[in-house]
Amino acid sequence: MTLLAQVRKQLPHFALNVDLRCPAGSILVLTGPSGSGKTTLLRILAGLDVPDQGRISLGEAVWCDTAAKVRQKPQQRDVGLVFQEYSLFPHMTLAQNVAYATRDREYAAELLSLFGIAHLGGTRPLGMSGGERQRGALCQALARRPKALLLDEPFSALDAATRSALRDELLRIRERFAIPIVHVTHDLAEAALLGDAVVAINGGKVDAHWFDDQVSHRLEEERILRRRAQSGIAASAARKPSSTRTAEGAML
């Protein structure tokens, strides 16, 4: 099934006007400047916000059609939603959090094992690391057996090693569950690694050049840093013989 959306919504400083397409088994990455409408778009897809005009469908199921006055509630859309902020209930253990989203306790346990956190089943969120909590949030979202997965910068608050591990796990989710995944990120490398398609939203509209321009800018910055590092190494190497001779002279 393919997730299709045509969304129009007037925001305080610009109009959100975006068409997108995300087939099952693929990851559509939404990127772009802060405040450009990405989170609003994700909330509209989830049913947490309403477009002024538009149509959203997944396969034959129509989630929203403003012309036909159709609007399914979030719980009717069967989506899994993970935000940057950890969505686990703090008063529940990890196992209880995941089981809360499904009546199938065996499936909940299977998900915990799949993400390598089964040993934390009796732990509450405050006793877990950020990466463990986000793995738990992914388990909770998948426990609903969603027909689509929506992710709003879920890895941005994590350290580099944990981000890398969770990116790999997201790629495995894509292969295992074969559902449309829409992933919002500001991280250019993450967008390039995860996205079967990358759509940049700038000022509420799709900007076909933004991502490539940002990548070129980043590569130029890295070239400058490499040149500076090489100059520093060369300067250090040039000073070293003189220091050595001085040391040798002092010894003599």
53 Ramachandran zone, left/alpha/beta (phi>0; psi -120 to 50): beta
Average pLDDT of the segment spanning 89-94: 93
State percent of the chain over pLDDT 70.
Answer: 92
Of residues 222 and 55, more confidently modeled: 55
pLDDT at 39: 92
Average pLDDT of the segment spanning 206-213: 94
pLDDT at 42 over 90: yes
Average pLDDT of the segment spanning 18-37: 95
Of residues 160 and 28, more confidently modeled: 28
Q: Tell me the pLDDT band of 234, cut-offs 50, 70 and 90.
A: low
Q: Which of 102, 59, 97 shows the shortest CA–CA distance to 77?
A: 59
pLDDT at 246 over 60: no
What's the full length of the chain, in residues?
252
| Alpha carbon 37 to chain centroid, angstroms | 15
Which stretch of 22-31, 96-105, 154-163, 239-248 has the lowest confidence by average pLDDT?
239-248
pLDDT at 175 over 60: yes
Helical axes 130-143 vs 160-177, angle rounded to 10°: 10
Mean pLDDT, the chain, integer: 89
Q: Tell me the pLDDT band of 40, cut-offs 50, 70 and 90.
A: very high
pLDDT at 249 over 60: no
pLDDT at 240: 64
